[in-house]
A and B are shown apart, each in its own frame.
Chain A
Amino acid sequence: MSRKLWLPVLLIVALLIAGCGPRPTPTATTAPGATAAPAPTTAPAPTATPAGPSGELEIFSWWTAGGEAEGLAALLKVFQQRYPNVKVINATVAGGAGVDARAVLATRMQGGNPPGSFQVHAGHELIDTYVVAGQMEPVTFLYQEEGWLDVYPKDLVEILSYNGEIWSVPVNIHRANVLWYNKAIFEQNNLKPPTTMEEFFAVAEQLKAAGITPLALGETWTVVHLFETVLLGTLGPEGYSGLWTGKTDWKGAKVTEALNNFDRMLNYVNQDYAALSWDQATQLVIDGKAAMNIMGDWAEGYFKAQGWTPGKEFGWAPSPGSAGAFDALSDSFGLPKNAPNRDAVIAWLRVCGSREGQDAFNPIKGSIPARTDADRSLYDAYLQSAMDDFAKDTIVPSLMHGAAVAPSWQQDIIDAVGLFLANRNVATFQNALAQACVSAGVCK
């Protein structure tokens, strides 16, 4: 009897020993798409200098879905042409907006095992998470060496900066303050896309009378997204940016006006918004069940994927009141302290910031390059108009997409918006927002 039992004991011990051994990184795969990617039309003949860096380079991102994965592959291809001696490990963690990727990254950074370089939302999500923790190296020297200070807009560089240094290299720009509309519905009702808040309410009233939901809305984060564009549309770019630095008073009359506008706007949305994801909300516009949708310009990719052509079936305009302002968010890459193979990381960052790299990545991903000197002919009508606005508008940081504030402040604002949806009390809402600014240590 007892002899029979020794076998399971041995098995358990063996399993325990095996469990304690070093595990292979399950998410790391050698870049599969690096050769299979559609070749970007501008990619020049490989002019690689064999004397570049060598060894392995791990690139960490959450670009796994359609469009984005191919974009990354195109960018990696440019990198491999320039630096053929570096072996790229394309480490991706699936999950929209990088929630899971961020948790994996955080443990690796805490454990002193940083990847070569990682994708992160430019601005406070990077700065307040990793830069203040002393886990990043500044990359200001790259901007000086590569002359990027001349080709990146000044407002953007400001969003990337902290303590007089620049902390990451953006590869793309998305715009948050865009109003998308169904052209057929607007023509049938003889409407023009609204440019101001008052025009929006007039248009919305007419649509409501015609029995069409004026504005399509989705789950809580898209409500916060809408809220941020209302703040921008009411306060203007300067007032909006001041909210995140303490220059604009959260208790002021202008903010009250914005909150009232937001409150009024919520009267014109689909009643089941809390149950819809952002793309389901956009789908309402495509189905003709709603006339407008305020969403970032990744919605353009969704319209196109459903077979709609920009300017033909759907039109776009800056969200009400926000013409002249470009509410930006950006995916960027940085240089972690103690990164393995630092030379290769720097080479990677040079490619990320290069015109060639950005023109390879962005037309596929469906975003515009962070540089202002890209090749316009590669981009569609919407993206071209976004590039024009990006070059001339005032650029402000996005709240919901990590550029404007630290994650903890952002969560307080999300909570305040959530509670406002429950009680619709503007005064309580404004107090909660003012309190959030105080907890964040920005307001007094």
Chain B
Amino acid sequence: MRIRKDHLLAVALISPSALAIAIFVYGFIGWTARASVSAWKGLIPDYTFVGLSNFIDLFRNPRFQIDLRNTAIFTVLFLAACLTIGLVLAILLDQRPRGEGIFRNIYLFPMAVSFISTGVVWRWLLNPATTLDRLSGLNLLFHKAGLDFLISRWYTHPKLGIAAIVIPATWQMSGFTMALYLAGLRSIPEELREAARVDGASEWQIYRDIVFPMLKPVTLSAVIILGHISLKIFDLVMAITQEGGQGYSADVPALNMYYTAFRALRFGQGSAIAIIILLTVAVLVIPYLIHTIRTEVER
């Protein structure tokens, strides 16, 4: 009797969110998928089946080609920067310096800020004016410090504009990566290091052969979490560049989707972009999920 009651309660507690997720996540994914193979343009839904033509048009579209290139550059740079900085900070903090708690909080705080607020501030810092009478933000700082060679066009640079967006994104997320790594480092038993030291291993050997291999699962989690953020990034780019920089120098698929669907009212094509974003994230996340579920079952 008692067990049945608890069981009922569990179902009652889970069912509202399960139902909401079924409708508002999976239902809408299905709806978007349906719209992505439709001819829907304008306000009236038009579900005429057009096959994959929306997708074919997209891959032929020069703006979308730039978007894909930008996403690739952004993801690689963002992951590399966050993982490196995060790991270095974590190793430094793992030496238990005085005031560790304060440093930990300082590094972690940017994550509590929304990308929109970060974007507004960094739009100002990354002011791309390069003529001496109109310098502002970081460029002005460089000029005052006599580092004129560092003055940059930032996100309006025609080839590398997207790389400028990596700076605020890294500023925001590397503290989070540090927290992940620090937890990983602290979970490595001190006995292992002691044993290695007794065997005469140098500190570098300890890191290379013991610590880094044991941090692999942490790195994997970090790659998944940071990777899905970078593939879907919208708010930061929107706040900094509004329309994707100069000549789409910092445009990303999500921004293109917003303008395609809600300014041009091409809902079919906009849905196609959304599905492509979903698929790229799925390629990243699904193997990880399978891996996690398997290890859980094994346990």
Contacts and interface: CB of A to CB of B under 8 A. Distances in A.
A420 interface: yes
Nearest to A109: B43
Interface in A373-430: 407-408, 410-412, 415, 418-423
Nearest to B137: A275
Interface string B92-111: 00000000000000000000
Interface stretch (B5-13, B172-180, B228-236): B5-13
Given A2-B5, A9-B13, A422-B66, A273 B246 contact: yes
B12 A103 contact: no
Nearest to A423: B247
A408 B5 contact: no
Interface in B220-264: 241-249, 259-260, 262-264
Contacts of B263: 99, 407, 411
B156 A418 contact: no
A65 interface: no
Interface in A120-159: 128-130, 132-133, 135
Nearest to A415: B63
Interface in A72-97: none
Contacts of B241: 274
Interface in B177-205: none
- Secondary structure class of chain A's binding surface, majority of residues: helix
B262 A99 contact: yes
Interface in B126-145: 127-131, 133-134
Contact of A421 (B42, B247, B260, B266): B247
A289 B9 contact: no
A253 B155 CA distance: 35
Contacts of B56: none
Contact of A272 (B5, B127, B242): B127
Contact of B41 (A9, A273, A408, A418): A408
B243 A219 contact: yes
A271 interface: yes
A16 interface: yes
Contact of A129 (B16, B43, B130): B43
A106 interface: yes
Given A289-B134, A407-B265, A419 B129 contact: no
Contacts of A423: 247
B128 A274 contact: yes
B16 A12 contact: yes
A110 interface: yes
A328 B172 CA distance: 45
A422 B158 contact: yes
B113 interface: no
Nearest to A134: B44
Given A272-B128, A420-B247, A408 B133 contact: no
Contacts of B16: 12-13, 16
Contact of B243 (A220, A289, A420): A220
B217 interface: no
A6 B243 CA distance: 50
Contacts of A421: 246-247
B247 A272 contact: no
A421 B153 CA distance: 15
Interface in A1-19: 2, 5-6, 8-9, 12-13, 16
B146 interface: no
Contacts of A103: 262
A221 B134 contact: no
B6 A2 contact: yes
A274 B9 CA distance: 57
A50 B146 CA distance: 76
Contacts of B155: 275
B287 interface: no
A62 to B, nearest CB: 15
Nearest to A105: B43
Contact of A5 (B9, B62, B247): B9
A410 B246 contact: no
Given A9-B12, A109-B43, A419-B247, A274 B260 contact: no
Given A109-B43, A133-B44, A422-B246, A271 B63 contact: no
Contacts of B131: 270-271
A422 B129 contact: no
Given A109-B43, A271-B130, A129 B247 contact: no
21 contacts: A2-B6, A6-B9, A129-B43, A133-B42, A133-B43, A219-B243, A220-B243, A271-B130, A272-B134, A274-B241, A274-B243, A274-B245, A275-B128, A407-B265, A411-B263, A419-B66, A421-B247, A422-B66, A422-B158, A422-B247, A432-B62
Interface of B: 5-6, 9, 12-13, 16, 41-44, 61-63, 66, 123, 127-131, 133-134, 153, 155-156, 158, 241-249, 259-260, 262-266
Given A128-B42, A219-B243, 18 more contacts: A9-B12, A16-B16, A103-B262, A129-B42, A135-B43, A220-B244, A272-B153, A272-B156, A274-B128, A274-B241, A274-B246, A275-B129, A408-B265, A411-B260, A415-B63, A419-B247, A420-B247, A422-B158
3 residue pairs, one from A and one from B, having the closest CB atoms: A422-B247, A411-B264, A274-B246
